[in-house]
Amino acid sequence: MEQLPPLLLVDFDGTLVFTEERWNKCEEETKGKNKSEFWQCYQSPKYMYLDKPNFRVIEFVNKLAEKGVAVFILSGRMEDTQLQYSLMQLTTYNVRFNGVILRKRGDFSKDAVFKGKHATELMRSYNIILAIDDSKDVRDEFQKLGIRAISPDEI
């Protein structure tokens, strides 16, 4: 049986970057408005410049990449509005990666469902050795799929 190449799945917000300042700015801007306006703000590039790199996670990811592990960023960020800024962040923070999977326009599925679906697809071509995500629901979904999942705090 053919050996599949190893893969690391990494979340973006709350894992590779700290987003508290962006979150707070969008909460402040949309106070008293409906929740969809908050998410529209948060899922736009408007305040992404406020994100701060989590160098501990980035260093861990880069060490695995140097050992030949493929790295895919699997994030609930919106592809149509956040892809370009996301790629710039990855480049600026010197994150080694092989692919980025972001949410398509109109996909309102829960993060655990979205990420579980993509992890299942990736399992056809890779041996997912680890997933790092700040969401317990997402980590639980990965565990159901047989993928070892940790929080960024465990690194």
* Residue 39 covered by a domain: no
| Domain membership flag for residue 43 | no
pLDDT score at 28: 95
Q: What is the pLDDT along the chain (155 residues), one digit of tens a residue?
A: 568 999 999 999 999 999 999 999 999 999 989 888 998 999 999 999 999 999 999 999 999 999 999 999 999 999 999 999 999 999 999 999 999 999 998 888 899 999 999 999 999 999 999 999 999 999 999 999 999 999 999 99
* Residue 23 covered by a domain: no
Q: Has residue 134 been placed in a domain?
A: yes
User: Does 98 map to a domain?
Assistant: yes
- The Cβ-side half-sphere exposure at 92, using a 13 Å CA radius, reads 13
Residue 140 falls inside a structural domain: yes
Strand partners, 128: 7
Q: Half-sphere exposure (CA, 13 Å, Cβ side) for 93?
A: 26
Q: Is residue 45 part of a domain?
A: no
SS3 74: strand
Say what the pLDDT of residue 107 is: 83
Domain count of the fold of the chain: 1
pTM of the model: 0.93
Residues 143, 104: Cα–Cα separation, whole Å: 24
Q: What is the pLDDT of residue 2?
A: 67
- Closest by CA position to 115, among listed 84, 92, 67, 147: 147
Q: What is the pLDDT of residue 3?
A: 87
Domain range spanning residue 106?
6-18+52-154
For residue 57, the domain's CATH number is: 3.40.50.1000
Q: Is residue 47 part of a domain?
A: no
The three state secondary structure string of the chain is: CCCCCEEEEECCECCCEECHHHHHHHHHHCCCCCHHHHHHHHCCCCCHHHCEECHHHHHHHHHHHHCCCEEEEEEEEEHHHHHHHHHHHHHHCCCCCCEEEEECCCCCCCHHHHHHHHHHHHCCCCEEEEEECCCHHHHHHHHHCCCCEECHHHC
